């Protein structure tokens, strides 16, 4: 017998769908380029804020949003391979996919902050490093898009297979926060999300984005540019 249990909190679900929107928007505007380059940067800023939010929420969110609850440890992976894993949140394979996606997006976001297109766009931290390094990071940024596309394809395929082979509606669960589970595995419903944790996390994420684009972080990172210049032109 299965019962419906509330697993995913609403901030996690909001993060998930906003991230989908931001990634699609960033990819489309990056591909089209031209006058949409500014929108590519805006979507990138949204992704940056969402990633900071998710990082913090992974430690202070509700039970199944926390990294500790689903991190793919060796024992969890062994149990999963043997078919003995019993959990209610992300399974170990899904956890690997999530971590890989977050890592790829983090790499894309960071390299994008320092990137340039040799025409009209310069990332907010472009002037912190020299042009040669910026060009290298720009190349890595473009290459990493292909890695992200591959990971997204794997993720979508897994969602479809779970729906068709296991009759598990992962999309519905991420919309409603509820999941069908055997009664023997059903945990207690998650506690309501208090406004304090959410507001504080949101403020920190917004502050990071503002600090990057307002130039506030450039002041602190300026010594890095000086160090690079000195290294590139050592005294004889």
- What are the structural domain ranges in the chain? 2-232
The residue among 156, 130, 147 whose CA lies nearest residue 232 is: 130
**pLDDT value at 126 more than 70:** yes
Task: Name the least confident of 47-61, 100-114, 145-159, 187-201.
Answer: 187-201
pLDDT band for position 234 (50/70/90)? low
- Integer Cα distance of 41 and 97 in angstroms: 25
Are the C-beta atoms of residues 40 and 48 closer than 8 Å to each other? no
Mean pLDDT within 62-79: 93
Are the C-beta atoms of residues 164 and 157 closer than 8 Å to each other? no
Yes or no: domain 2-232 corresponds to CATH 1.10.10.10: no
Mean pLDDT within 193-215: 92
The residue among 95, 7, 93, 101 whose CA lies nearest residue 51 is: 101
Q: What mean pLDDT, rounded, does the chain reach?
A: 88
- Residue 217 is predicted with a pLDDT of 62
**pLDDT value at 223 more than 60:** no
Mean pLDDT within 98-121: 93
- Residue 236 is predicted with a pLDDT of 44
**pLDDT (tens digit, 9 = 90+) per residue, 151-191?**
999 999 999 998 888 888 889 989 999 888 777 777 777 78
The residue among 137, 131, 129 whose CA lies nearest residue 118 is: 131
- Residue 87 is predicted with a pLDDT of 81
pLDDT band for position 231 (50/70/90)? low
Which token pair is 205?
A: 């994420």
Query: In terms of pLDDT, which residue wins out, 117 or 234?
Result: 117
Mean pLDDT within 53-64: 95
**pLDDT value at 109 more than 90:** yes
- Residue 135 is predicted with a pLDDT of 95
**pLDDT value at 133 more than 70:** yes
Please count the helices (runs of H) and the strands (runs of E) in the chain: 9, 2
pLDDT band for position 137 (50/70/90)? very high
Task: Name the least confident of 85-94, 114-123, 223-232.
Answer: 223-232
pLDDT band for position 219 (50/70/90)? low
């Amino acid at each position: 017998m299965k019962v419906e249990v509330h697993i995913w909190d609403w901030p996690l679900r909001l993060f998930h769908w906003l991230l989908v929107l931001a990634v699609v928007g960033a990819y489309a505007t990056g591909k089209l380029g031209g006058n949409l380059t500014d929108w590519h940067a805006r979507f990138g800023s949204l992704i940056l804020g969402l990633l900071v939010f998710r990082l913090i929420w992974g430690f202070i969110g509700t039970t199944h949003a926390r990294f500790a609850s689903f991190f793919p440890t060796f024992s969890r992976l062994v149990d999963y391979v043997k078919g003995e894993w019993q959990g209610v949140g992300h399974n170990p394979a899904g956890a690997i996919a999530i971590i890989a996606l977050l890592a790829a997006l983090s790499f894309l976001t960071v390299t994008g902050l320092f990137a340039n297109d040799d025409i009209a766009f310069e990332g907010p931290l472009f002037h912190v490093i020299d042009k040669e390094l910026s060009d290298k990071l720009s190349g890595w940024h473009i290459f990493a898009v292909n890695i992200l596309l591959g990971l997204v394809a794997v993720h979508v395929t897994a969602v479809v297979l779970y729906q068709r082979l296991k009759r598990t509606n992962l999309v519905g669960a991420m919309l409603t926060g509820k999941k069908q589970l055997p009664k023997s595995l059903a945990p207690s419903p998650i506690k309501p999300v208090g406004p304090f944790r959410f507001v504080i996390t949101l403020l920190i994420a917004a502050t990071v984005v503002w600090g990057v684009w307002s130039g506030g972080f450039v002041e602190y990172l300026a010594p890095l540019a000086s160090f690079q210049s000195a290294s590139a032109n050592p005294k004889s």
